[in-house]
């Protein structure tokens, strides 16, 4: 049995998130599994490195799956990209050791949040940024962000409340500022 790792980029605007919901074809996982199942003739289940919410985009979502198929990794990538919708692309396909697990071997996640700070909204930025018309106080934003930096227990944001700690280290990248978009990426 082979263990195949995928690196995926997608625009999640039309999807209910990463995780398959029953037999829904409105998730990223569901779309990819459907094509892999057709390609291999096997019932394929992919394991994601994490989940994304509805409408969330990803530049490097990692996933893996097991298959008995002998197709070359380049052919797997070509097949997926041929049949996936244009808002999902598999950037890389690599064969991994049997014990590799996308979720358990993940070493971090990077989140990026953008504000479109202009009088008028941009049709090109609407799915990747929040439109805010009023002037922004960059100094106050950076001071607030510094409060997030460091090691914190995020159990309050988790559905698992049973004395399980959700300790994470947050590192903030310096804000990228120009006259149009201000980004404050979070590294968890």
- Please list, in sequence order, all residues whose beta carbon lies within 8 angstroms of the beta carbon of residue 76, skipping any fewer than 6 positions away: 4, 39, 69, 93
According to the model, what pLDDT value does residue 161 have?
59
Q: How far apart are CA 181 and CA 128, in angstroms?
A: 10
User: Within the chain, which residue ranges are assigned CATH 3.30.70.580?
Assistant: 2-96
Select the highest-mean-pLDDT range: 20-24, 25-29, 51-55, 174-178.
25-29
Q: What is the pLDDT of residue 164?
A: 66
**Residues pairing with 58 in the sheet:** 10
Q: Mean pLDDT of all residues in the chain? A: 85
The third-level CATH classification (topology) of the domain covering 110-187 is: Alpha-Beta Plaits (3.30.70)
Among the listed ranges 23-27, 46-50, 176-180, which one has the minimum average pLDDT value?
Answer: 176-180
Give me the mean pLDDT over the 57-70 stretch: 95
Q: Mean pLDDT, to the nearest integer, of 152-166?
A: 70
Confidence grade of residue 162 (pLDDT, cut at 50, 70, 90) = low
pLDDT (0 to 100) of residue 181: 43
Closest by CA to 63, choosing from 75, 37, 82, 45, is 45
Q: Kindly tell me if the per-residue pLDDT of 136 is higher than 70.
A: yes
Of 7, 89, 82, give the one whose Cα is nearest residue 48.
Answer: 7
Q: Would you say residue 27 has pLDDT above 50?
A: yes
Going from the C-alpha of 165 to that of each of 53, 109, 114, 151, 161, the distances in angstroms are 22, 18, 29, 12, 8
The predicted-structure confidence for 86-135, as pLDDT tens digits, reads as follows 999 999 999 999 999 999 998 888 877 788 888 899 998 888 888 999 98
Is 183 a residue whose pLDDT tops 90? no
Q: Boundaries of CATH 3.30.70.660 in the chain?
A: 110-187
Q: Which CATH class is domain 2-96?
A: alpha beta
Cα radius of gyration rounded to whole Å, the chain: 19
- Stretch 173-184: mean pLDDT, rounded? 48
Q: According to the model, what pLDDT value does residue 186 have?
A: 47
Distance between CA 24 and CA 10 in Å, rounded? 17
Taking a C-beta distance cutoff of 8 angstroms, is the pair 181, 122 a contact? no
Catalytic residue IDs: 53
Residues 6+ apart with CB under 8 A from 93: 4, 5, 6, 7, 73, 74, 76, 77, 80
């Amino acid at each position: 049995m082979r263990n195949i790792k995928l690196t995926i980029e997608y625009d999640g605007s039309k999807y209910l998130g990463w995780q398959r919901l029953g037999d829904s074809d409105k998730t990223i996982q569901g779309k990819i599994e459907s094509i892999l199942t057709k390609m291999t003739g096997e019932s394929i289940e992919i394991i994601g490195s994490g989940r994304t919410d509805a409408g969330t985009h990803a530049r490097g979502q990692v996933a893996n799956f097991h298959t008995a198929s002998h197709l070359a990794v380049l052919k797997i990538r070509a097949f997926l990209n041929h049949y996936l919708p244009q808002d999902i692309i598999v950037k890389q396909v690599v064969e991994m050791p049997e014990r590799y697990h996308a979720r358990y071997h993940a070493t971090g996640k990077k989140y990026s949040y953008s504000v479109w700070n202009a009088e008028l909204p941009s049709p090109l930025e609407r799915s990747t940024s929040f439109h805010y018309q009023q002037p922004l106080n960059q100094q106050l934003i950076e001071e607030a962000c510094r409060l997030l930096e460091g090691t914190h227990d995020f159990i309050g944001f988790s559905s698992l409340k049973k004395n399980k700690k959700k300790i994470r280290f947050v590192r903030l990248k310096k804000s990228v500022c120009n006259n149009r978009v201000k980004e404050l990426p979070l590294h968890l």
